[in-house]
Amino acid sequence: MKNLQKLGFIFAIILASCSTEKQNEETKEFSFQSETFADLKILKYQIPGFDKLNLKQQKLVYFLGEAGYAGRDIIWDQNYRHNLSIRRALENIVLKFDGDKTSDNWTNFITYTKRVWFANGIHHHYSMAKFIPEFTKEYFMQLLVNTGGTLNEEALKAIFNPEFDNKKVNLDPSKGLVLGSAVNFYAADINESEVDEYFNSIKDTTTNTPISYGLNSKLIRGEQGLEEQVYKLNGMYGDAIAKIIYWLEKAITVAENKAQADALKLLVDYYTTGDLKTWDDYNIAWVAATEGDIDYINSFIEVYNDPKGYTGSFESIVEITDFEASAQMKVLSDNAQWFENNSSINEEHKKKNIKGVSYKVVSVASEAGDSSPSTPIGVNLPNANWIRATHGSKSVSLGNIVYAYAQAGGKGMLEEFCHDEEEIKRAKEHAKLAGKLHTALHEVLGHASGQLNPGVGTPKETVKSYASTLEEGRADLVALYFLLDEKLIELGLMESLETGKAEYDSYIRNGLMAQMQRLDLGADIEESHMRNRQWVSAWSFEKGLEEDVISKVTKEGKTYFEINDYKKLQSIFGDLLREVQRIKSEGDYAACQALLEGYGVKVDKEIHKEVLARVEKLDIPPYGGFINPTLIPITNYAGEITSFDITYAADFTSQMLEYAKRYSFLPDYN
């Protein structure tokens, strides 16, 4: 699963790669920040280590990257059925409009277009709310006429009617999880009970190795009732998938070893057939392919965008191993069983033999689909619980992404939200390492820990729409519990518990206050990771009230949260971890709903208003994302690739228009 702390925000930005010193000399002349608009800043990242690869390896990176870009249209269509037609209308206007480009209307149109590009659609990538244009429908219609563009009436309604399809993902059960969500995983008239009935009718409840039902399909109405429109060659998204396969087959010819090639062949088979058993075979082969300098993620993977947790969004990340940084962190993988044995969870919920948890720090070479422009900083896959338990998993930290965020970070957030100089000093001295350790513990140990009780269904079946936020909170709690453990000092991962305290400070600050800057005043929390940070923090704050573990302090009219007893807070985190693991292991929906709805959805309106006012004066966009570097193959007279140049688009608009030109393989409606 992704660590989706998509870091435009300073408490996440203060993370830094453990290879920071090594990169300093390389990056003196490199400008990491490109531009800002709305609530976003656009950054750039470098690819350290690419020049040290041999030509065959560089070709592998290039071919895998092209396979990712080839699927770019897919995520747009998955996010909303009108996205591709709207995107193309916007792009046509940007390319062809020859009228007044100095007006407020034009400026607002360009900002809207950039926001749509960034989110891969007309809904915010994080809040899930639809963008509301700050230009009139009449002005937009004039732009269409001027440039020869068209949109159907429902697409126009999608842009200008604030109430129509206004949430990409709705997690409020009272509003209907499926009908209330605009994502294109279900035909527009299919409701939640129909989805439940369909999948319950096809599931094999007797197996311990269930396939990932619905992972690669859209549920539609057929002549005989509901049926799946499968993403595959000669199926849904077939034209884009044909291009993905083309580049994957090229990648196979330059694979670093047989295991890597065999896994890629299975991925091609999966794209060709859409067979979910082949997907499982591929994941098992991919987990076992641990040798080599290059790795990748490519397919329909994370289910955060599906309110029912079945269908995976398309994404691609191509990675080059940072061997020095990975060696420093391998100690976590080697000691995974110790951490499981010493966790606060009940004995019956502990894994007796954790399998193959591999951890690497990597440098990203390209990202596409749901990983771009907004990117994770860590990934742990595969997601199938039985594969993880039996065959293991891979965890990676995206080192050059974390480093780029750190280089382009805003200033002033620590001073604004830390209670005193001691807290600021601790953050400046320890937060970089603390953030890195939290990510590693979350990905390597958190997602790998714990087990379901025999006969209990998967979380998406038992705790339903709460599965994602429950899992991310559980992984966070594993990290938090051990960040104040002497074992990390013994293993040489940190020098003192001050590092753990710095992360406790940051987590509570963020969960109870600072992350609210990402919400419009009066809004509930919808995004799974924001929810989990709040319910972990709010529950822990409440449980520690009697002993004043965390104080809510008002100073000069400003609110702060100060931790008074870090060891007691660690114990509280341990208690919550035990309960969350019990909920997951037993599939206790009622307890899950009470915890997450009670602590994770509603925000304190007065604090929210205060946070927005305090952040506004700092002028720090809360979200960030990236322009990808472009690998340009250099060929000889025979057309053979002999080397690569790395270039960057002039700006975000240039890259988006170039991608539209090179990687548009799907029709407006699919």
The pLDDT of residue 619 is above 90: no
Give the SS3 label for residue 305. coil
d(CA 206, CA 235): 29
* Cβ 381 vs Cβ 443: under 8 Å: no
d(CA 560, CA 39): 24
Segment 463-515, tens digit of pLDDT: 998 999 999 999 999 999 999 999 999 999 999 999 999 999 999 999 999 99
pLDDT average, residue stretch 153-160: 98
Nearest Cα residue to 487 out of 333, 354, 342: 342
Label residue 268 exposed, middle or buried (CB < 10 Å: 0-12, 13-18, 19+).
buried
Confidence bin at 12 (pLDDT 50/70/90): very low
Segment 22-33, tens digit of pLDDT: 444 444 579 999
d(CA 343, CA 351): 11
d(CA 422, CA 562): 11
d(CA 228, CA 185): 10
Greatest CA separation for the chain: 77
Segment 168-181, tens digit of pLDDT: 999 888 889 999 99
Report the amino acid identity of residue 470.
L
Strand order of the sheet with strand 623-627? 33-37, 40-44, 623-627
Query: For residue 415, what are its two tokens?
Result: 């001073």
Query: By mean pLDDT, which of 108-112, 357-361, 388-392 is the weakest?
Result: 357-361
Place of tokens 């690819």: 47
pLDDT at 407: 82
Nearest Cα residue to 564 out of 433, 423, 438: 423
pLDDT at 8: 34
Q: Angle, to 10 degrees, between the axis of helix 498-512 and the axis of helix 467-482?
A: 150
The pLDDT of residue 17 is above 60: no
What is the full DSSP assignment across 21-70? HHHHTTTTT---EEEEETTEEEEE---TTGGGS-HHHHHHHHHHHHHHHT
Label residue 277 exposed, middle or buried (CB < 10 Å: 0-12, 13-18, 19+).
exposed
* Cβ 181 vs Cβ 168: under 8 Å: yes
Q: What are phi and psi of 552, to 5 degrees?
A: -95, 115
The share of the chain scoring above pLDDT 70, in percent, equals 95
The DSSP secondary-structure symbol of 513 reads T
* Cβ 62 vs Cβ 69: under 8 Å: no
Query: By mean pLDDT, which of 108-117, 208-217, 286-295, 320-329 is the weakest?
Result: 320-329
Segment 220-271, tens digit of pLDDT: 999 999 999 999 999 999 999 999 999 999 999 999 999 999 999 999 999 9
Buried b (16+ CB within 10 A) or exposed e, 563-573: beebebbbbbb
pLDDT at 28: 54
Segment 59-81, tens digit of pLDDT: 999 999 999 999 999 999 999 99
d(CA 153, CA 160): 11
Q: What are phi and psi of 622, to 5 degrees?
A: -75, -15
pLDDT at 2: 62
